[in-house]
Structure 1
Amino acid sequence: MKVTMTTNDQNHIIHDEKSEKVKKYSILNQLALKGQTVLVGSSLMEFFPINELQQTLQRNYCIYNRGIAGYVTADLLASMEACIFELEPTKLFINIGTNDISASDYELEHLIASYNKILTQIANRLPACRVYVMAYYPVNAKAEFPFVPRESMDEVFKFRTNETIRDANKAIEQLAIKHGYDFIDVNEGLTDAEGDLKQEYAVDGIHMLPNGYAVVLNNLQKYL
C-alpha cells in the first residue's frame, strides 16, 4: 500500500533532521579546537566541501562547517550556541537567508531585521571575531538539470530570482557595514554571460557541485 505523506509530516521530518544536526554539532564542538574558523548558514554552506577542497591550498587551515540544510535566519538565531558560540571562532563566514528569500511571504525588511539580530548577538558574544557576511550566490532558473525535474523547482524560482538576490545583497552589505563587518562577494567566475549560475557548476540551479565551490574557495582564500 502506498503511503502519502502530508505537508505536516514532511515539515516534522525536516525539523527532526535539523535538530539532529544541531545535536551532532554540539557533541563535535566538545572535541573541536577553540578559536578557529567557522562556516555557518544553510545548505549552500553545509554542502561546501571545504575540508576536501582546502587540500589544494598551500596552507593548512582548521575550518569547521556548521551549515544546516533548510535553515532560515530564524533557525540560526535559535541555534547559535551550537553553530557558532561554543566554538569561539576568531573568523566567521556567514551565508544565511536564501531560504527566507524562497518563501512565498518573503519581505526584505523581515530578512534584514532577523539578520540584524544574528549579527548583534555575534557582536555581543564575540567582540574580537572577524566576521565575513557573504553575498548570496546567483541562481540558474533557465537550464535543465538531468537529475532534478524542472517542475520541482518552479515554485522556488518564483521568488528566488537573481534580481531578488541582488537586492538582498545590497541590503546585507549595508547591514554588514553598520556592524563594522566585512561584506564579501566571492561570486566572480560563477556566472555565465547572462548573469546566471553556470550550468556546469549547478546541481539544480541553486545548489552547486564541487567545481562551483572550488571557484568560491579560490575567491575566498584571501580572507581565510
Structure 2
Amino acid sequence: MELKMTEKTTKLTNLHPDILKFQNELRDKYVSENKTVKKGQILFVGSSLMEIFPIEKFQQDEDLGLNKVIYNRGVRATTTADLLAHMDTLIFDLEPSKIFINIGSNDIGFNVPKEEYLKNYSQILSLIQEKLPDTKVYLMAYYPINTSTNFGEEKHEHSALYEHRSNALYAAASADVARLAREHEMNFINVNSGLTDEGGNLKSDLTFDGAHMLPAGYKIVLQNMISYLK
C-alpha cells in the first residue's frame, strides 16, 4: 500500500489527483457500508494512520474479548477540515457508543496554522457532543515517527514528508489535543508505549516509511488500547 507523499502533496490545497480520487472513492464506499452497520458500536476515525490500522483483521484473527464491533472510517491525507466536512459519513451515520480519534498529523505536515486546525478539532468535538451526547470520545496522542532511518525513499520525498513533521512537533500537538480533551470533558489517551527506540524514534522494524506503521506496530497499539475498548 503506497502512502508516501510527493512534493505535490505537501500542501492541503494541492493534493495529488490520485489521492483526491482515492479519498472520494473510499468515502463513497463508507456511505454504502454505513447502511448496514450495527449502531452503538466502536468507531476508529482519522487519517491514514487510522485507515491502515488493520483492526478488522485483528477482530477476525484474535479474540479481543470485546462485545462490540470496531468500525474503521480512516481516510488517508485527511485533515481536521476534511473530517469536519464529512462527519455524517465518517461518524454520525454509525451512531457509535465509543469514538477513537486520531486526526491532525496531516494538518501539521501540511503546515496548516495551529490555531486553524485546533479550531477545526474543537468544532468536531462540539458537534459530537451535540449530536452524540452519550458517546464516549477518546482523543489519541500522535504516534512517534522515525525521520532518521532511510526507508528507500528519494531525498526529495524524504524532505517533502518531513519538512513539517517531527517528534517534537507531534509531542507539542499532543499536548494541545490533551487540552482540547479537558475543555470538552473528553478522554485523552496516549497508547504509544513500546513503539519507540532509545532515541525516541518510532522503531524502524515497526514502520515501512518512518511515518506509517506495519501491522506489528498496530498490535502494540491495540494492546495498549484494549482497556479503553472494553
Q: TM-score, normalised by structure 2?
A: 0.89
Q: Is residue 107 from structure 1 mapped to residue 113 from structure 2 by the alignment? A: yes
Structural mapping, 1:109-188, within 5 Å: 109-146=115-152, 148-188=153-193
Q: Tell me whether 1:73 sits opposite 2:80 in the alignment.
A: yes
User: 1:134 and 1:165 mapped to 2: Cα distance?
Assistant: 12
The 5-angstrom pairing of residues 176-215 of structure 1 reads 176-215=181-220
Mean Cα displacement is larger for which, 83-92 or 151-160? 151-160
CA distance in 1, matches of 2:179, 2:31: 32
Structure 1 distance, partners of 2:191, 2:78, is: 21
Aligned length in residues = 217
Counterpart code for 1:71: T
* Structure 2 residue aligned with 1:97: 104
TM-score (norm 1): 0.92
Amino acid across the alignment from 2:116: H
Deviation at 1:53? Answer: 2.0
Q: Which runs of 5+ in 1 are unaligned?
A: 1-5
Question: Aligned in 2, Cα 1:189/1:9: closer, same or farther, shift over 3 Å?
Answer: closer
Asked whether the 8 Å contact 2:45–2:74 carries over to 1, the reply is yes
For 1:74 and 1:107, the matched residues in 2 are separated by 12
Q: Residues 79 and 199 of structure 1: is their aligned pair in 2 closer, same or farther, counting only changes over 3 Å?
A: same
Q: In 2, Cα distance between the equivalents of 1:65 and 1:158?
A: 29
Cα distance in 1 between the residues matched to 2:84 and 2:63? 32
Once the 2 structures are TM-superposed, how far is the Cα of residue 10 of structure 1 from its aligned partner?
Answer: 6.1
State the alpha-carbon separation in 2 of the partners of residues 165 and 139 from structure 1.
Answer: 9
Structure 1 residue 82 corresponds to structure 2 residue 84: no
Q: 1:144, 1:150 within 8 Å by CA — same for their partners in 2? A: no
Alignment-derived partner of residue 42 in structure 1: 47
Q: Shift in Å at residue 57 of structure 1?
A: 3.3
CA shift, 1:156, in A, is 2.1
Secondary structure at 2:16's aligned position in 1?
Answer: helix
Residue 144 of structure 1: CA displacement?
1.4
Question: Unpaired segments of 5 or more residues in structure 2?
Answer: 1-6
Residues 18-38 of structure 1 deviation map (CA, whole Å, 9 limit, x = unaligned): 111111101100011011001
Instruction: Letter of the 1:43 partner, please give it.
Output: S
**Partner Cα distance (1:150, 1:206) in 2:** 15
Q: Secondary structure at the match of 2:84?
A: helix
Q: Distance in 1 between matches of 2:169 and 2:215?
A: 25
Shift of 1:14: 2.1
- Residues 1:14 and 2:35 aligned together: no
Deviation at 1:149, TM superposition (A): 3.4
Amino acid at match of 1:13: D
**Contact 2:53 2:215 (C-alpha < 8 Å) held by counterparts:** yes
Distance between the aligned counterparts of 1:204 and 1:149, measured in 2? 11
- Deviation, 1:9, is 9.1
